[in-house]
Amino acid sequence: MIDKVTSQANISSMLQTLRAYQSEAAGGIDTPSADKAKSTSQTGFADMIRQTIENVNDKQKTANDLEGAYMRGEPVPLTDVVLAMQKSSLSFEATLQVRNKVLKAYEDILNMPV
């Protein structure tokens, strides 16, 4: 069992997976180009919220699909399952916190004296 975990092929595979996730995560941090800035300015707030919620939903579906595949015994690495579940959980929590902040701001504006 220990030989499987510490074999060079498994370590290389895990490092490659981590690098892929790192580059995927860094993809959202890049500075926007002029084309991206133009397309962003044309979309409204509702479109941005819809896209964000769809992104969170996609991550949750992916995590559920990977979990189901792992439970059925398909050759899915456990690390991929755990990472997908953590990504979906983290994105859901972040969305929930943003929603709470928006609702709090709305209530503050609603209760302001005129």
pLDDT at position 1 is 43
pLDDT at position 7 is 67
pLDDT at position 39 is 52
Q: Please report, as a single letter, which amino acid is at residue 33.
A: S
What pLDDT digit, counting tens, does each position of 46-99 carry? 898 899 999 999 999 999 999 999 999 999 999 999 999 999 999 999 999 999
Q: How far apart are CA 90 and CA 81, in angstroms?
A: 14
What pLDDT digit, counting tens, does each position of 11-51 carry? 777 677 777 777 777 665 544 444 555 555 567 888 988 99
Q: How far apart are CA 6 and CA 33, in angstroms?
A: 42
> Does the model's pTM come out above 0.75?
no
CA 57-65-3 angle, to 5 degrees, is 125
pLDDT at position 17 is 76
pLDDT at position 18 is 73
Length of the chain: 114
77, 84 Cβ separation under 8 angstroms: no
pLDDT at position 20 is 76
Largest separation between any pair of C-alpha atoms in the chain? 71
Q: What are phi and psi of 71, to 5 degrees?
A: -65, -30
Give 13's contacts (C-beta < 8 A, 6+ positions apart): 77
What ranges do the domains of the chain cover? Answer: 1-30, 33-110
